């Protein structure tokens, strides 16, 4: 499903952030991406999210080589990808329901379709009582669940998570991992970036280790 071949990334010429990264994420798989802060986890996810172009190498996604695909064609691919970030990125002037339903609104779905899907998803993740709440009234764990709901409401083929449990205690982090597991069991491919070794040991999914800008198992 996702294949990177000898991918490199430089923000400054001659100073690689990523160097000769090769990996394969089969459809329906779940992988941790491990490594301390600052080693390139977020940079790698930004390439997979199509927010940044690789400096070198080749990238295959969803059955096609997208290495040099025109930028005008990237939004269509990006709609197949969900992203969950550590800082939530919820819009404070919108309710939780409006935040979660925003990707569907952008995609042009009707108001009735959006309302139905949002209510179903909020109930599934345990936020049905927060439908009309504003983000600033929620706890960190509730905000993160809302961010996950927004990322998956379009039923993405690929879900990228960039340190989504970094601000949460171990118990809440573990509970959120169960949510990611359920999404994965529904067929979504997941790459979960974390520096939390305790979490990795608890769930024991295959782990890709990033060090010195490259990947090893």
* The CATH fold of domain 1-80+159-217: Rossmann fold (3.40.50)
CA-atom Rg of the chain in angstroms: 17
Q: Is the dihedral of CA 86, 187, 23, 103 positive or negative?
A: negative
Average pLDDT over residues 64-72: 93
Range name among 27-31, 38-42, 66-70 with the lowest pLDDT average: 38-42
Name the pLDDT band for 217 (thresholds 50, 70, 90): low
Give the span between the Cα atoms of 20 and 55, in whole angstroms.
11
Do residues 146 and 135 lie in contact, with contact meaning Cβ atoms separated by under 8 Å?
yes
The residue that leads in pLDDT, 31 or 14, is: 31
pLDDT value of residue 65: 95
Average pLDDT over residues 192-213: 91
Name the pLDDT band for 15 (thresholds 50, 70, 90): confident
pTM over 0.85: yes
CATH 3.40.50.300 residue ranges for the chain? 1-80+159-217
Q: Quote the mean pLDDT of the chain.
A: 92
pLDDT in tens, 150-190: 998 998 999 999 988 887 788 888 888 888 998 899 999 99
pLDDT value of residue 119: 95
Taking alpha carbons only, the member of 190, 185, 165, 184 closest to residue 176 is 165
pLDDT value of residue 111: 95
pLDDT value of residue 167: 78
Q: Is 14 helix (H, G, I), strand (E, B) or coil?
A: coil
For 173-211, b where at least 16 C-beta lie within 10 A, e where not — what string?
beebbebbeebbeeebbbbbbbbbeebbeeeeeebbebe
Name the phi and psi angles at 36, rounded to 5.
-65, 165
The secondary structure of 77-141 as a DSSP string is HHTTEEEEETT----TTS-HHHHHHHHHHHTT--HHHHHHHHHHHHHHTT-GGGTT--GGGS-HH
pLDDT in tens, 106-145: 989 999 999 999 999 999 888 999 999 999 999 988 998 8
Q: Are strands 56-61 and 189-194 parallel, antiparallel or unpaired?
A: unpaired
Name the phi and psi angles at 179, rounded to 5.
-65, -45
Name the pLDDT band for 212 (thresholds 50, 70, 90): confident
pLDDT value of residue 55: 95
Taking alpha carbons only, the member of 171, 172, 168, 128 closest to residue 146 is 128
């Amino acid at each position: 499903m996702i294949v990177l071949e000898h991918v490199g990334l430089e923000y400054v010429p001659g100073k690689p952030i990523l160097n000769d990264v090769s990996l394969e994420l089969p459809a329906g798989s779940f992988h941790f991406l491990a490594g301390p802060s600052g080693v390139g986890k977020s940079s790698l996810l930004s390439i997979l999210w199509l927010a940044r172009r690789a400096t070198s190498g080749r990238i295959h996604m969803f059955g096609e080589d997208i290495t040099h695909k025109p930028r005008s064609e990237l939004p269509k691919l990006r709609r197949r990808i969900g992203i969950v970030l550590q800082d939530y990125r919820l819009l404070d002037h919108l309710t939780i329901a409006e935040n979660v339903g925003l990707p569907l609104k952008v995609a042009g779905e009707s108001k009735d379709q959006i309302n139905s899907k949002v209510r179903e998803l909020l109930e599934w993740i345990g936020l049905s009582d927060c439908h009309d709440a504003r983000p600033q009234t929620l706890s960190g764990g509730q905000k993160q669940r809302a961010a996950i709901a927004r990322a998956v409401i379009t039923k993405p083929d690929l879900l990228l998570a960039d340190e989504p449990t970094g601000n949460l205690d171990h118990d809440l982090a573990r509970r959120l991992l169960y949510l990611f597991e359920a999404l994965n069991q529904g067929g979504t491919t997941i790459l979960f970036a974390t520096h939390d070794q305790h979490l990795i040991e608890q769930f024991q999914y295959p782990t890709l280790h990033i060090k010195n800008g490259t990947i090893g198992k």
